[in-house]
Structure 1
Amino acid sequence: MSKKLVDKTVNLDLVGVDGNAYVIMASFKRQATKEGWSTKEIDLVLEEAQSKDYNHLLSTILDYCQVENRD
């Protein structure tokens, strides 16, 4: 992805999440909502994620995920 549509990330680790595209998108949407993202911001990311193939979907969602270490 060349330019991020939303200048934010969510605290989401997709390791261990079912690899189904709908499960990945739902996990992202649930966490983004929990972290106060607007519906428009979430929709922008999900629309871009769905614009191509599965690899693009996964890559796009991962661009907006950053796991926070709580050590």
Structure 2
Amino acid sequence: MSEKKYKPECKLIGEDGKIFNLLSIASVTLKQNGMEEESKEMYNHVYASGSYEEALMIIGDYVSIC
């Protein structure tokens, strides 16, 4: 049985869709939930991504987008 990772809710729908804005909002959400290391990890993965869509998927791996 795989362990499900906790993903805090993050309001991204309706926000400015620029990836750096969305990344910043998601990062703040993670930090507010005591997930500083996950925030750094997410940033690194997003910066290494090859497209906007891939970056959004990575953000969605760390937060529950609402």
Q: TM-score range by the shorter chain?
A: 0.7 to 0.9
Q: Is the 8 A contact 2:38 2:62 kept in 1?
A: no
How far the C-alpha of 1:51 sits from its partner, in A, is 1.1
Q: Is the 8 A contact 2:30 2:39 kept in 1?
A: yes
Q: Tell me how far apart the structure 1 counterparts of residues 61 and 39 of structure 2 sit (CA, whole Å).
A: 13
Q: RMSD over aligned Cα, in angstroms? A: 1.8
User: Following superposition, which runs of at least 4 residues in structure 1 exceed 4 angstroms of deviation?
Assistant: none
Q: TM-score, normalised by structure 1?
A: 0.72
**Residue 37 of structure 1 corresponds to which residue in structure 2?**
35
Superposed, 1:1-71 pairs within 5 Å as: 7-38=5-36, 40-52=37-49, 53-66=51-64
> How many pairs align?
61
Q: Which runs of 5+ in 1 are unaligned?
A: 1-6
Q: Percent identity?
A: 18
Larger helix share, 1 or 2: 2
Q: TM-score, normalised by structure 2?
A: 0.76
Q: Tell me how far apart the structure 2 counterparts of residues 67 and 20 of structure 1 sit (CA, whole Å).
A: 15
**Residue 4 of structure 1 corresponds to which residue in structure 2?**
none
Q: Which runs of 5+ in 2 are unaligned?
A: none
